[in-house]
Chain A
């Protein structure tokens, strides 16, 4: 069970990253839980400055961009 966190205050890009990540995780057949982190202080605690960010099990994999589902698959694998 992986814990996937989307870090972002809730703009359009964060929504898109969440959607792309869900697609990627589904097509890999992962067992996962997707959480959106919207509180700015919590986001800062991850050590990123540019949103949206993507963290898996507490480790930041992406900051400041929205890759395609195919590219996220490579990161999640």
Chain B
């Protein structure tokens, strides 16, 4: 045996064997934790995948296909209006950063070839926190006020951090690349208002299909809850009509694709999820016909499918791990709740600071911050520290700090990281005080 090359597999075999040999399956705490993680996975599968994630994937896919990056980057280019650039940079993560791997190139591009350090840092901070999938899942799992606080906090503090970075390093200008950035300029396929309505119909479906039950059986929110499937159907019909006309699919094909969903809704009105599922299958079929596969419908479906393929496995692993370590809300996993409470319980300065520092260094795969945070909050984490972790977490991680450092140097990176931790701590403190 050649030890020089074989030591690695040998090491792993021994490590895995030792792990299996001493596997502590008979300890009640471990057994309970494993059951907890399975419960948590089932809860996610029942509550969050069909009505929430699947439409969100379609929206994210549509953003990737129908929103032109070039059009947005115009406002972040070298000739951009500086004031406008901060505003655009802080919100454009919603539509530019649907995939976390696009954030760093865009950040480097804005810094080197575009509007400069300030807007680049604003974009880097808010981008991962306000992409559509992240906001939707945060609001759905952790409650609407947390989703809104995350989005608003990310946008406001992005501008503050961007301005601060610009102020600290106002005497240093980045070496600008000689050439202006190259962008593929595509002629817009359809007027802006049509694209806007098309997105509005999808967001409408997503919002109303997930409309939560209210405790109070009167009032507007409850009235919306009781009619939510009618409203959702209305938005779906509107989407169908737009696909038939503006996307040139034709009324006949839309009707055929929508028919199974319609029948389901009539036969089994008590299970609207079934009609919803059939509607999605109809849409997927429409996008994969021979005549649509290579067009924009096909592109739309492929992008959505790419997101689903990339994110679902990560989320499953994230939910399993969060379940084993922290359990469902109200139950305990491997980590005792007292530990969590003593570190990040309440709304003290230490709890918020700890959450933001931990979040800044820890790597969260796309969207996994949500189940992890849900577990932590169930185990006694305060709402303020939770927001601090949500704000510092996805924006930074040790690996991405290294890339940022290679782009803008050690000094600026250190200042940026410190600012992120500081701002996340402050927003956590504020949120924890008011909610």
- Report if B194 contacts A (CB, 8 A): no
- Known A-B contacts A11-B101, A11-B102, A64-B184; A49 and B110 likewise in contact (beta carbons under 8 Å): yes
- Report if A43 contacts B (CB, 8 A): yes
Q: A residues within 8 A CB of B182? A: 46-48, 60, 63
Q: B residues within 8 A CB of A51? A: 101-102, 105
- Known A-B contacts A40-B406, A41-B406; A47 and B181 likewise in contact (beta carbons under 8 Å): yes
- Known A-B contacts A41-B407, A63-B183; A49 and B101 likewise in contact (beta carbons under 8 Å): no
- Known A-B contacts A11-B101, A68-B294; A44 and B183 likewise in contact (beta carbons under 8 Å): no
Across the two chains, which residue of chain A brings its CB closest to B306? A12
- Report if B69 contacts A (CB, 8 A): yes
Tell me whether A44 and B108 are in contact (CB under 8 A): yes
CB distance from A14 to the nearest CB of B (A): 8
Across the two chains, which residue of chain B brings its CB closest to A41? B406
Chain A 6-37 residues near chain B, CB threshold 8 A: 8-13
* Neighbour of A9 across the interface among B104, B181, B309, CB < 8 A: B104
Across the two chains, which residue of chain A brings its CB closest to B99? A11
Tell me whether A40 and B403 are in contact (CB under 8 A): yes
- Report if B220 contacts A (CB, 8 A): no
Q: How many residues of A contact B (CB 8 A)?
A: 24
Tell me whether A47 and B180 are in contact (CB under 8 A): yes
Tell me whether A45 and B177 are in contact (CB under 8 A): yes
Q: B residues within 8 A CB of A8? A: 105
Q: When chains A and B are docked, how far (Å) is the Cα of A75 from the Cα of B99?
A: 26
Q: How many residues of B contact A (CB 8 A)?
A: 29
Tell me whether A40 and B184 are in contact (CB under 8 A): no
If over half of B's interface residues share one DSSP class (helix, strand or loop), that class is named, otherwise mixed; here it is helix
- Report if B106 contacts A (CB, 8 A): yes
- Report if A65 contacts B (CB, 8 A): yes
CB distance from A59 to the nearest CB of B (A): 10
Across the two chains, which residue of chain B brings its CB closest to A40? B108
* Neighbour of B109 across the interface among A39, A50, A60, A68, CB < 8 A: A50
- Report if A4 contacts B (CB, 8 A): no
- Report if B150 contacts A (CB, 8 A): no
- Report if B179 contacts A (CB, 8 A): yes
Q: When chains A and B are docked, how far (Å) is the Cα of A38 from the Cα of B101?
A: 12
Tell me whether B102 and A50 are in contact (CB under 8 A): yes
CB distance from B188 to the nearest CB of A (A): 15
If over half of A's interface residues share one DSSP class (helix, strand or loop), that class is named, otherwise mixed; here it is loop
Q: A residues within 8 A CB of B184? A: 62-65
CB distance from B2 to the nearest CB of A (A): 30
CB distance from B9 to the nearest CB of A (A): 25
Tell me whether B306 and A40 are in contact (CB under 8 A): no
Tell me whether B407 and A49 are in contact (CB under 8 A): no
Q: When chains A and B are docked, how far (Å) is the Cα of A64 from the Cα of B47?
A: 35
* Neighbour of B69 across the interface among A12, A41, A45, A64, CB < 8 A: A64
Q: B residues within 8 A CB of A11? A: 99, 101-102
Tell me whether A47 and B407 are in contact (CB under 8 A): no
Q: A residues within 8 A CB of B105? A: 8-9, 40, 43-44, 48-51
CB distance from A40 to the nearest CB of B (A): 5
Q: When chains A and B are docked, how far (Å) is the Cα of A57 from the Cα of B177?
A: 19
CB distance from B131 to the nearest CB of A (A): 14
Q: B residues within 8 A CB of A44? A: 105, 108-109, 112-113, 177, 407
Q: When chains A and B are docked, how far (Å) is the Cα of A8 from the Cα of B182?
A: 15
CB distance from A44 to the nearest CB of B (A): 5
Tell me whether A50 and B101 are in contact (CB under 8 A): no
- Report if B394 contacts A (CB, 8 A): no
Across the two chains, which residue of chain A brings its CB closest to B106? A49
Q: B residues within 8 A CB of A39? A: 406
Tell me whether A41 and B99 are in contact (CB under 8 A): no
Chain B 340-355 residues near chain A, CB threshold 8 A: none
- Known A-B contacts A11-B99, A63-B182, A65-B184; A49 and B114 likewise in contact (beta carbons under 8 Å): yes
Interface residues of B (CB under 8 A from A): 69-70, 73, 99, 101-102, 104-106, 108-110, 112-114, 177, 179-184, 294, 306, 309-310, 403, 406-407
Cross-chain pairs A/B with CB under 8 angstroms, 23 sampled: A9-B104, A12-B306, A13-B99, A13-B101, A40-B104, A41-B406, A41-B407, A45-B177, A47-B177, A47-B179, A47-B182, A48-B182, A49-B106, A49-B181, A49-B183, A50-B69, A50-B102, A50-B105, A62-B184, A63-B182, A63-B184, A64-B70, A65-B184
* Further pairs besides A43-B108, A47-B177, A49-B106: 5, Cβ < 8 Å: A12-B309, A45-B177, A46-B182, A48-B109, A49-B113
Interface residues of A (CB under 8 A from B): 8-13, 39-41, 43-51, 60, 62-65, 68
Which 8 A-B residue pairs are closest in the complex by CB-CB distance?
A49-B109, A11-B101, A47-B179, A51-B105, A49-B181, A50-B69, A60-B182, A44-B108
